[in-house]
Amino acid sequence: MNLKGKTILITGGASGIGLEAARQFLDIGAKVIITGRNQQKLRAAKEKYPSLITVQSDISVEIDANALFQQVETLGGIDILYHNAGVGVPPTNLGIPGKKHLEGAIYEMEVNYFGVIRLNDLFLNMLKTKDEAAIIHTTSILSIVPSILEATYSASKTALAFYTKILRAHLEIIGSKVKVFELLPPLVDTDMVADRDDKKISPEQLVRGLIKGLEKDEFTIRIGDSKAVYFINRLAPKTAFGLVNKKKYAEHLKS
């Protein structure tokens, strides 16, 4: 896929992985629109990279999503929809936080899964009109092997992984040229996991891998440990589960 000259919308683009993606896409000649809930962070991103277009919105809210679509349409539309926004509820009690369990699960599903479908429903017809267009879903290493401390987060990413495969198949069946990519990050060094001492990769490494995969039309893009865990899980699922969870389980028992 040729990224130069494309217009890309990045959700959750005001910080972390999203902002790094915006920087790298700008560097290769793309036009970038970022959206997020925090206006202060959006303003700071715009000051850092003046060519960015920023739109405040919450993709988990239908009214916001509709307003975002209308504003993007006014700007001339997009070629690539990059679903980067995601949330995770801090784990307690081995990831099953009592009375708050359902509340946290709903929040994660609303952003990580339903929010993706909501935007796809809005933007798909726009993307279908383009000569070359794409949708990028960010799942996780935890959609391959679930985390014992992040049960419902893992479930939300697994749901998105299955939806990604079926959406890709549906678009192929109807002869659409819209490409559907799945990005599977390992643990990435962002503010969301700043207090964890697990092995992490930088947002810069992740986005470099993403861009390389997009340019090669590699529809399933596994980065770092996601590659190893995927292959180990195919041959020895119990081993893969242990690799992902052994340290987390041990740390919980100590606390």
- For residue 221, the cross-strand partners are 183
> Mean pLDDT across the stretch 131-147?
97
Three-class SS state of 54? strand
Residues 119 and 124: their CA atoms lie apart, in Å, by 8
The pLDDT tens digits for 3-52 are 999 999 999 999 999 999 999 999 999 999 999 999 999 999 999 999 99
| Mean pLDDT computed over every residue of the chain | 92
Residue 250 pLDDT > 70: no
The whole-number pLDDT of residue 254 equals 47
The pLDDT tens digits for 151-202 are 999 999 999 999 999 999 999 999 999 999 999 999 998 877 666 777 889 9
51, 62, 44: which is closest to 7 by C-alpha? 51
Q: How confident is the model at residue 100 (pLDDT cuts 50, 70, 90)?
A: confident
The whole-number pLDDT of residue 94 equals 55
Residue 255 pLDDT > 60: no
Three-class SS state of 216? coil
226, 117, 113, 114: which is closest to 170 by C-alpha? 117
**Separation in Å, CA 50 to CA 23, 26, 28, 31:** 11, 11, 16, 12
The whole-number pLDDT of residue 97 equals 54
**Higher model confidence: residue 89 or residue 212?**
212
Single-letter amino acid code for the residue at 213: G
Q: Please report the domains of the chain, with CATH numbers, ordered by start residue.
A: 7-226 (3.40.50.720)
> Mean pLDDT across the stretch 107-126?
96
The whole-number pLDDT of residue 213 equals 98
**Higher model confidence: residue 206 or residue 94?**
206
